[in-house]
Amino acid sequence: MSLIDYRGNCHCAAFKFTFKAPELKQGHACTCSFCSKNGYLWGFPAADFTVVKGDEETTLKTYQFGKRTMVHKFCPTCGTTVLARLPSADGSPQIGINIRALRDVDIEALEVIISTKGASTEPLYQAPEPVATGTIPEGSTVYQGSCHCGAVRYALVNPEKITAAKSCNCSICSRDATVRIFPETTSVIFAGVDESVAEYTFGSKKSYNGFCKICGVPIYGRFVGLSPEYDTKTALNIRTINGLDLALVEITMSDGKSYPGVYDP
């Protein structure tokens, strides 16, 4: 079977890697609390995984939870979740790659195999304490969300139930797997942002992508000088809303990849 050279990187390109594998035709999604918030799409390459820039132990930050059998690794600069180390049958560390971090792979063309065991794996995930909202306008719906570790939390007071959202195929959104709505910033009440959020920007520097410094989960985007319409809004990643069933949300794809400017890390 012929092998293909795959290249990948976090968005800021502080960490780059390569590996050889048969053509990727499938990706594996998991319903556990962490993978679902991150939108992980797993691939499991052979042992020839090679780091070509940066260092897995020092460039990437690690996060563990639950039984702590897996070590998740993300870039602390741009927030891209790159890989995880997990034990194999013989006890040696196996590597799982987030396919979203690969270059020149058509994510939309992959067959997605969903593992539903993650959501019921013990210990079950406990969402953090809700954020207080004060008086709620009549007819509004309150959603509580958070990163995975709970250091960053928010309450969204929405005038209606969430039934539609957008994803995007641009270089950052495709890596982060964000599914966004765009409420007025005044309707989102955050807790823990000053202490626990890192923001990453690039290109025109009109969009700032906020993610948790501890667990790496992408939470929001904020806009500066983009347009009068968007400067008053927050791009909220609804993957981070606790208890929201994305299967009930109509998600449309924005073609950010076609915008001017070539991403070439």
Render 67-85 in DSSP notation, one character per residue.
T---EEEE-TTT--EEEEE
User: Which segments of the chain belong to CATH 2.170.150.70?
Assistant: 4-120, 141-258
Per-residue pLDDT tens over the stretch 39-55? 999 998 866 899 999 99
CATH class of residue range 4-120: mainly beta
Higher pLDDT: 179 or 225? It is 179
E strand or H helix at 132, and its extent?
none
**Encoding tokens for residue 62?**
């690690």
Q: Quick one: average pLDDT of 231-248?
A: 97
Higher pLDDT: 1 or 138? It is 138
Sign of the dihedral defined by the CA atoms of residues 86, 87, 88, 89, in that order: negative
Mean pLDDT of all residues belonging to the chain:
94
**Encoding tokens for residue 173?**
């959104």
Q: Taking 70 as the threshold, does the pLDDT of residue 91 lie above it?
A: no
Tally Cβ neighbours within 10 Å of residue 44: 12
Nearest Cα to Cα of residue 219 among 248, 203, 202, 242? 242
Q: Label residue 94 by pLDDT band (50, 70, 90).
A: confident
Distance in angstroms (rounded) separating the CA atoms of residues 207 and 202: 8
Q: Quick one: average pLDDT of 18-26?
A: 92
Contacts of residue 56, Cβ cutoff 8 Å, sequence gap at least 6 = 15, 73, 83
Contact criterion met (CB below 8 Å) for 105 and 24: yes
Weakest mean pLDDT among 25-39, 82-96, 144-158: 82-96
Q: Quick one: average pLDDT of 30-35?
A: 95
**Burial per residue of 196-226, b for 16 or more beta-carbon CB atoms within 10 angstroms, e otherwise:** bbbebeeeeeebbbbbbbbbbbbbbbbbeee
Q: Any idea which residue has 């520097």 for tokens?
A: 205
Nearest Cα to Cα of residue 240 among 123, 147, 170? 147
Cα angle 104-109-111, degrees, rounded to a multiple of 5: 120
Q: Taking 90 as the threshold, does the pLDDT of residue 186 lie above it?
A: yes
pLDDT of residue 24: 93
**Strands 26-30, 111-115: parallel, antiparallel or unpaired by DSSP?**
parallel
Cα angle 39-43-45, degrees, rounded to a multiple of 5: 155
Q: Taking 80 as the threshold, does the pLDDT of residue 104 lie above it?
A: yes
Distance in angstroms (rounded) separating the CA atoms of residues 214 and 212: 5
pLDDT of residue 47: 64
pLDDT of residue 162: 98
141-258 topology per CATH: 2.170.150
Distance in angstroms (rounded) separating the CA atoms of residues 187 and 173: 23
Q: Label residue 228 by pLDDT band (50, 70, 90).
A: confident
Q: Taking 80 as the threshold, does the pLDDT of residue 175 lie above it?
A: yes
**Strands 4-9, 16-21: parallel, antiparallel or unpaired by DSSP?**
antiparallel
Q: Taking 90 as the threshold, does the pLDDT of residue 28 lie above it?
A: yes
pLDDT of residue 120: 80
**What pTM was computed for the model?**
0.94
